[in-house]
Amino acid sequence: MSLTDSGRPIEILLIEDNPADIRLTVEGLKEAKVANRLHSVLDGKTALDFLYKRGAYQDAVKPDVVLLDLNLPGTDGRTVLTQIKNDPDLRVIPVVIVTSSEAESDIIQSYEAHANCFVSKPIDFDGFMKVVRAIEDFWFTVVRLPTKD
């Protein structure tokens, strides 16, 4: 298992409200080729608190990549994506949309808001695991992420 260029694990922020999908993501990343630390939050408001180090998240790390569901309670993923990509301090963080939506309008809106990629979640276990591994392979072994400040 390798680390980032700087010798530290990849920091992943998973923004997902479905506990089953969180478990599957954890399981898929457990066997990752790249050392990672997964931080998960259940809604958009908490995600923004994490990203802006507010309240209980004062000591949160800046993630190397965000895995974002669009359909979240309260502050939805579309709002979180827009907030990230409009903030000069956060916009360099790659945002991978991982959602059950296959709506063309969601795909277009996500890319217009500068999502780095859009992935529809498969409904079966094997398909979901394949997607998590593909994300891991691409974003953590092929792509070079920016180093921390």
What sign has the CA pseudo-torsion 33, 35, 41, 44?
Answer: negative
d(CA 101, CA 53): 29
**Fold entry, domain 10-137:** Rossmann fold (3.40.50)
Q: Where are the domains of the chain?
A: 10-137
What sign has the CA pseudo-torsion 45, 140, 88, 54?
Answer: positive
Percent of the chain at pLDDT exceeding 90: 60
The letter for the amino acid at 98 is: V
- Residues 46-87 have pLDDT tens digits of 999 999 999 999 999 999 999 999 999 999 999 999 999 999
- Determine the pLDDT at residue 123: 80
- Residues 5-60 have pLDDT tens digits of 566 888 999 999 999 999 888 888 887 777 889 999 999 999 999 999 999 999 99
Average pLDDT over the chain, rounded to an integer:
88
What's the pLDDT band for 3 if we cut at 50, 70, 90?
A: very low
- Determine the pLDDT at residue 98: 93
- Are the C-beta atoms of residues 50 and 39 closer than 8 Å to each other? yes
